[in-house]
Structures are given as structure tokens and as C-alpha cells.
Structure 1
Amino acid sequence: MSLTSRRALMLAPLGLAVAGGAGFYGMLRGMGTGSYDPRGVPSVLIGRAPPDFTLPPLAGSGKPAFAAAELRDLPSPVLVNYWASWCVPCIIEHPQLMRLSREGVPVWGINYKDKPQDAGAFLTRHGDPFARLAADESGRVAIDWGVYGVPETYFIDRQGIIRWRWAGPVTPEVLDGDIRPLLRRYA
């Protein structure tokens, strides 16, 4: 190995560190100006109908499941919420889902890669906000929706078009700042 090759190999980590630092600096500047949203994970489904799917009901829930066809021509907008009993952020968002359900907002749940008995115990302990409840045990439907983790919530208008997506827990701020304006707009 020549001296030039050794020198290039020794400078490679420095070059990677400089590139990483420049990317981090750009991210920080974007956050400062408001042009970078660290929670903003774009979805190709915004403005489109949900992908075609049919899921079974969550075993033991006594709730009907749903399919993509049932998300078209709705009497009112619907929130579709991917959740799991093992998901800690799902506990954080659960009071907001319960509040929406008590207010008459249809919340349809998709239980993600969970054991039915664990999901049932979660709903018994925390309450059940779901008007319909399906199980995506394999996670295949979640892949089609572009879900990368739970919780994740989608707002679907009365025509069956996805208008909004939130990756992460629905907090009181998200409820008041995002969901309530969408409900007013698409009611």
C-alpha cells in the first residue's frame, strides 16, 4: 500500500465526521427557521384512499373489523389508529382517544403485531375508544399504509381520502392543534 493510499484511508473518518457535522448543522438551522420538522415523516397516502385491505376482528374484542371499502362514503370523518399493548407511547395517547370517542368521533383501531389477550387486557385497563377494531398480527397491512411504528394515526374524510397522518402519540396539543381543526373542516 502506498503512502498516498494510507493517507486517504486515515482521512476518510475525518471526512465522514465533517459530512455528519454539516448535516447536523443543517438540521439545527432548519429547526431554528421552522423549515425542518423532526417529527414530520411524509406519507405518500395523503390525498389518496387507503390501500386495499381486509383484516379480521381482534379476537375476543366483540368489535367488528373493517376493510378499506368501508372507509369510503362515510357519514363522518374517521380516525384510524395503529396501536399495540406493548407500546408505551400508546398509553400516553389513550386518554385523547377516549375523549374523542366520548365526543362521538369514530375511532377505528388496528391492533399491530400484538397478542389478542394482551390487547384485550390493555383495553380493559385503560378503556376502549374503538368503534371498530381489527388485528394486523403479521404487520402486512401496516406496511402497505407506510406505518413505521406505533402509535400512528390517520384522519380519513367522509369520501375516504386520507387527509392527515401523525406518527407518534396523540397528545392534548395534537388533539387541539391538528385533529379538532380537521374535524371542523371535514365535518
Structure 2
Amino acid sequence: MARVSQEHLDARRRQIIDGAVRSFTQGGFHATSMQDVLREAGLSAGAVYRYFSGKEELIAAIVGEVFGTVRGAFEDAANQDPPPLPDKLLGQVLNIVLNGRVGGGSIEFPRLVLQVWAETLRNEELAAPLRQGFVEMRAAWGGLVDAYREAGLMPDDVEPDHVARTMMALAQGFIAQRALFGDAEVEQLEGGLRALMRMEVPKVS
């Protein structure tokens, strides 16, 4: 029997994840069955269950991909000289998540993110990778703060974790707006953040 190449295995796994994302965004996490995922992916039960035991593993894989993609974008930014300012960086990262390979660039993808967040409140199997991703993202932003300091863009007394939590809150809030109201654009977030970054306390004469 011919040995299946790693490229083929990776492509099949990609096909399953993309099908799951489409299914979950269309029908919701709880209303979607594994049969729905099978139909959307166009594969047999045996082919899918070879990679994933159920919906929880599929969601965990999607969460891992999103965090991995975002973390990679932050690490790339930290290696630039100088690194992009927060408004541009956050816009770049959100565009990658919304329009990139993860989720197939689905406009409904933020809705899936909200479903995952809600599900983690009751499902420890999903909560664990989300918490781990949160820790890794905070560390990635800590590296960016170091890069900002070295470039003379940020004072030495800034607490990296404060910056990390603030920027992540902005990204999460944007995703929530996009999912709930649909009219949030990345350019709006960039412009608003840029305006806030330019604020100065008036000098008292």
C-alpha cells in the first residue's frame, strides 16, 4: 500500500477544519452536528474521525490556529526595526485573522469566536487551550514592548502586561462589535486608536 504523504494529510486536515468553520458559523456550535461537518467538508465519517474525535477537538484546533497566526504576526512585528506602532499592528493582525486562511476569510468568523468564548465558560476542554493562548499572547506583546523600548518609542517604566491586556481587550472588543453589529471596520479601529495615541495633556501657562 502506498504511503500517504504528509502534504496529503495536512491538506485533508485543512479541508476538515475549513468545513467545520463554515458549519459552525452557519448553524452555531450547539446546533451543528458532526454530520453537518461531514457534509460541509465533503468527507466520510472515517476520514474525519481519523483526525478529530468530535466538535470540541475541532474547536480547539481552530482556536490553536487563530492564536498561532496572531502570535506569529506579533513576533514578526517585534523583529522589524522599528516595529509598527500599535494602531497599524493591531490592524494588520485583525486583517490576518478576518481575511486569512483561518476560517476561510468568512465574514461570519467573528460570530464563531463569540460562540467559542461563551462555550469556554462551561466547557473545560475548550477553556484550557484558550487560557494557554491568552498567556502566550500576553508574552508576545511583552516582546513587542521590549522592541518599542529599544526603538525609543516607549518609556522603560511601562508595564508590559498592562500594554498586552489593553491591546488584547481592543482586539476582543472589535471582534465582538463585528459579530454583534456587523459594521465594525478595521480602519475605524486603527483611526480611533491613532487619535487616542496622539492625545496630549495641555500645558498650564
TM-score range, shorter chain: under 0.3
Larger Rg: 1
Return the structure number with greater helix share: 2
Return the structure number with greater strand share: 1
- TM value normalised by structure 2: 0.22
- TM value normalised by structure 1: 0.24
